[in-house]
Each structure stands twice: as C-alpha cells, then as structure tokens.
Structure 1
Amino acid sequence: MQPTFLAASPFLPIIGLSVVLLIVHIMLQGMTATKELGTDWNAGPRDGDRKPSGKIAGRAERASANYRETYPAFIALAFSLTLAGDPHGFGLIGAWVWLACRIIYIPLYLAGIPYIRSLVWLGSLAGLVAMLLVLLF
C-alpha cells in the first residue's frame, strides 16, 4: 500500500507527462536520423563515424540533449516537492511552467528560431527555480 501523500500529489501527473516528453524527444531524434541515414543504419550497431548531418536531425539531437540536461533537476525537484509538500502551490506552478516551456521549445528548436527559443528555455529554467525556492524557503 502506498502512502496517501504520494497518491494525492499533483506532481505525479506532471512527472508522467515529462516521461512522455522524454519519449517524444527520443522518437523524434530517432525518426529524423533514420529519415536521413536509413533503416539499415538505425537497425545496425551504428559503429563508425557515420552520424546524421542534416539540419533537422541535428537540431532534434541537440534539443533532446538539452532536455536531458535539465531533466534530472526537474525529477529531483518534483519528487522532493512531492515528499516535502508545496503549501502555496508555487512549486506546482513552476513544474507546469517547466513542462510547458519544454514542449514549446521543441518546435522552436526544430524551426531554428533563435531568440524566442532562448527565452522559452529561460522560462523553463524559471520554472525549476520556482520549484527550488519552495524547497529552500
């Protein structure tokens, strides 16, 4: 039987959605690389130096790497807030901001839109900071 504070946590659906977004990143990266290099490359061991060199495949790979850089911090903060509680909901707002910005970031990165993409990334960072502030204060 699981503790009721975990079952009732509003962070759990966001954590689940963040995993879905991780899978989207992985699939997007794989599909764009396969489109460029073919299914034999994708199904093979990928030995050697052959890597996707096209713009979209490269952007999908970099967007995925960028997501994976902040993802551990998000997971740690979300689970910490699940355990510690979030009496004012400020951390929950931060989690939703982080997730929304990370979703918006993907098409902006794939389209090569520079400054707006950076602002959206800063928005996701602000979401993480909001979550952290709840834990610190």
Structure 2
Amino acid sequence: MATELVILGLLALMGASLWIPYIIGVNTAPQGSIPADAPDGFVIPPDPTLQRPWVRRAYRAHLNLLEQSVPFAILVLLVDRVDGFSALTLWASVAFLVLRIAHAVGYITATARFPGRPLIFTGGWVCCLLMGWALFAA
C-alpha cells in the first residue's frame, strides 16, 4: 500500500479520535458549566463557549482537522485513482500529517500562537495545493 494511503488512514484515525480531549474536558467541567435549568435526565450538548479555554481549543482543533483533512483525503484518493503518486505526493503527505499533529497539539495546549498556528494551517493548505498539482499533472 502506498505511503500516502497509510498517512490518509492515520489522519482518519486522528480525526476519529480528536473528540476525546473535548469530551474529557466537558465531562470534567467544574460545577455550573451545565445550565441549571436543564431538565433531569435530559442531556443537552454542552455550549463550547461556556467551557474552559483548553476545552474550547480542543473543540476547534477537531473542527480544523476535519475541515482541512476532507479536501486532502479527496485529493489523495483522486491521485491514487490516476496512479499519480510520486516523491512530491509522498513528502506532501508526510508534511501534512506532521503539520496536522503540530496544529492539534499546539492549539489544544495553546503553545502555537499567532503567527505559528495560522502558518501551520497555511502549510497544510500548501500540501493540499501540491496534491492538487500532482493530480492535474498526472
């Protein structure tokens, strides 16, 4: 199996698992985080704006991963379909995975601040552009 597809699988597992920090944060929230008027036995989705800062960041990190990984995944699958994998697609895939991990960790821990986090996100976008280039060049 091509390395690009393995990386795509790892990204899918990351996307499927990045909800865990958010759920841990929501379920360990201090008293008062859930509205007092919520009916007994009725579970309402927690409002991310009422959560602690790191929990809000975990929520956004998950959304950011999904919004950038879906186009990347489609491009990887299309490049695979036209048999266009090359050194460019390999390194774009590796870079995308590393950037997405750095983005999630940096976002949740608040260590990736401006301009770091936007630059990491932009790097992922460039990886998508490179994969698109490989698609149309194949």
TM-score by length of structure 2 reads 0.79
Shift of 1:100: 0.8
Shift of 1:90: 0.9
What are the ranges of 5 or more consecutive residues in structure 2 without an aligned counterpart? 35-40
Change (3 A) 1:108 1:48: closer
Aligned residues: 126
Candidates 46, 53, 60, aligned match of 1:62: 60
Mapped to 1, the partners of 2:65 and 2:84 lie a distance apart of 24
Tell me which residue corresponds to 1:98.
Answer: 96
Cα distance, 1:55–1:87 mapped onto 2, change above 3 Å: closer
Q: C-alpha displacement at 1:46, in angstroms?
A: 3.2
Structure 1 unmatched runs, 5+: 1-7
- Residues 48, 15 of structure 1: alpha-carbon distance in 2 compared, 3 angstrom cutoff: closer
Structure 1 Cα separation of the partners of residues 124 and 45 of structure 2 = 36
2:50 aligned with 1:21, yes or no? Answer: no
Which has the larger share of helix? Answer: 1
Q: Which residue of 2 aligns with 1:4?
A: none
Give the match's secondary structure for 1:114. Answer: coil
Identity of aligned residues (%): 18
Whether 2:115 is the aligned partner of 1:108: answer no
1:133 is matched with 133
Structure 1 ranges of 4+ moved more than 4 A = 48-52
